[in-house]
Structure 1
Amino acid sequence: MEWRDQGILLSVRPHGESGAIIEVFTPSRGRHAGVVRGGASRKMAPVLQPGAQLDLQWSARLEDHLGMFRAEPLRSRSAAAMASRLSLAGLNTVTALLLFCLPERQAYADLYARTEVLLDLLGAPEVWPLAYLQWEMALLGEMGFGLDLSCCAVTGARDGLAYVSPRTGRAVSRAGAGDWADRLMPLPPIMLGQGAGEDAQIAQGLRITGHFLSGRLALEVVQKPLPEARARFVRQFEKRVAERG
């Protein structure tokens, strides 16, 4: 068995004296693991950094074997990730969530494309947080917990949407909320594609996506706590929000 593809490096761990087991995210093979001979060597270790874009060739005697990777660097994202604590926390969050959420060897071509674009924006700190929020919304959708913000769940109206139901993930208008408003989550306009992407609204949006990632996906599907990397990123981002007032 053999295939070739591009992919995003998600994780690296030692294997034997000088090898490494890597996990990658590819458009046609999804999350996939394999051994890289010499992956822990001085030559390869700087190449095999999480977030790196790699040209990959995988081979194994049988399809269900771990297999071997030949990995060639296409571009590194280390410099962009190390530009700030927020960027590094962001990269760690993306790779951790993909490892946490994705089943092995199942393709998610649309999510892959979004992930590649997102990681290429790491060096743009004013743009990246909004792109990340949109990526989390897409991740929830791919995992079966997508938010429905198209119309009010109560009245069917498409205008005046102001809340999200923490149970269903559907939008609710002010008129439809009525006496239940205090039990709903405020819906920032940025999640409806409105506004310029203010940090405070993005933080509010991350609280909504975080609710469904931790309260639904983690509990009901993966049955493990959400990776701590996401909480670290949110704390770092909320620190920026506070500093900017």
Structure 2
Amino acid sequence: MLIETDAIVCGLRAHGEHGAVVRLMTPRDGLQAAYVRGARGRRMRPVLLAGNVVQARLRARTEGQLAQAEVELVHSRALLMSEPLPAAAIEWATVLAATALPEAQPYPRLHAALDGLLSAIEAAPSASGWGAALVRYELLLLAELGFGLDLDSCALSGSQEDLVAVSPRSGRAVNRAEAQPYGDRLLPLPGFVRAGGVGSWRDILDGLRLSGHFLTRDLLTDRAAPILEARSRLVDRIGRASGLGDNPVAERGGGA
């Protein structure tokens, strides 16, 4: 096996005295794990920070063997690691990919979404500039892994107009008229999820509650559940930045 590609660093686990197993998100070959010699040394530590873009050369004698990798820095996001909110966002976005995705399966749309999200965090450190992109990234990851939501029409009436909520049970959209009897038992559906663009602080927090519900229920279970602590830290920081409270993304049950 020989792969030469740009990649996003998504995770690093110590292996041996000085090396590490690095997880890299690639455009065409999906998530790739590889051993990097000297990964924890002075020269390589700043190269292998989560969120950095590297040029990687991965080699293995067989498909089942852990690849050996040589990496060179293409673009560093190290400066963002000194800012609590951008650092928390990069940590979460990359650890989610490293934990949830199966290795060596191509997800070009997810790579593009992760790259776009990291670029947005870099361009606008305030979550008001990239919060909507984070929600769309999480929802896309759910969809790519078979847990996508059905947001095209109302689960109860079939209408495609005025969709404002999502059933926490079925993952289907509900329009305003049909949602009224259920009160706050439904999850809010911010307009940017379907229409694109950015959202208000409240829209972003509502979107995070939506995606977080299904990530927790359907994907990040058992051994993957501990990484939700990174998401909780991020959501708490976004809540404080928004001025809407320390815990504005409370989960709710019930619904259609």
TM-score (structure 1 length as normaliser): 0.91
Name 1:92's counterpart in structure 2.
Answer: 91
Name 2:63's counterpart in structure 1.
Answer: 63
Q: CA deviation at 1:15?
A: 2.5
Q: Choose the corresponding residue for 2:134, options 129, 132, 135.
A: 132
Q: Identity, % of aligned pairs?
A: 38
Aligned length: 242
Name 1:10's counterpart in structure 2.
Answer: 10
- Residue type of the alignment partner of 1:225: A
Name 1:31's counterpart in structure 2.
Answer: 31
Q: Does 1:106 align with 2:105?
A: yes
| Partner secondary structure for residue 9 of structure 1 | strand
- Residue type of the alignment partner of 1:236: R
Q: CA deviation at 1:201?
A: 1.3
- Residue type of the alignment partner of 2:230: A
Distance between the aligned counterparts of 2:226 and 2:22, measured in 1?
Answer: 21
Structure-2 change in CA distance of 1:101 and 1:194 (3 Å): closer
Distance between the aligned counterparts of 1:67 and 1:141, measured in 2?
Answer: 29
Gaps of 5+ in 2: 246-256
Distance between the aligned counterparts of 1:114 and 1:100, measured in 2?
Answer: 17
Distance between the aligned counterparts of 2:147 and 2:81, measured in 1?
Answer: 29
Structure-2 change in CA distance of 1:129 and 1:177 (3 Å): closer
Distance between the aligned counterparts of 1:25 and 1:110, measured in 2?
Answer: 11
Name 2:194's counterpart in structure 1.
Answer: 192
**Mapped contact 2:166–2:189 kept (Cα < 8 A):** yes
Residues 45-78 of structure 1: CA distance to partner in whole angstroms, max 9, x if unpaired?
A: 1211111101111111111100200101100111
Name 1:78's counterpart in structure 2.
Answer: 78
Q: Could you say what the CA RMSD is over the residues aligned between the two structures, in angstroms?
A: 2.1
Residues 29-59 of structure 1: CA distance to partner in whole angstroms, max 9, x if unpaired?
A: 2111111122222211121111110111111
Q: CA deviation at 1:226?
A: 5.2
**Mapped contact 2:117–2:134 kept (Cα < 8 A):** yes
**Mapped contact 1:188–1:204 kept (Cα < 8 A):** yes
Gaps of 5+ in 1: none
**Mapped contact 1:81–1:122 kept (Cα < 8 A):** no
Structure-2 change in CA distance of 1:225 and 1:68 (3 Å): same
Where do residues 87-236 of structure 1 align in structure 2 (5 Å cutoff)? 87-123=86-122, 124=124, 125=126, 126-177=128-179, 179-193=181-195, 196-219=198-221, 224-225=224-225, 227=227, 228-236=229-237
**Mapped contact 1:214–1:226 kept (Cα < 8 A):** no
- Residue type of the alignment partner of 2:95: A
TM-score (structure 2 length as normaliser): 0.87
Structure-2 change in CA distance of 1:167 and 1:79 (3 Å): same
Distance between the aligned counterparts of 1:100 and 1:178, measured in 2?
Answer: 37
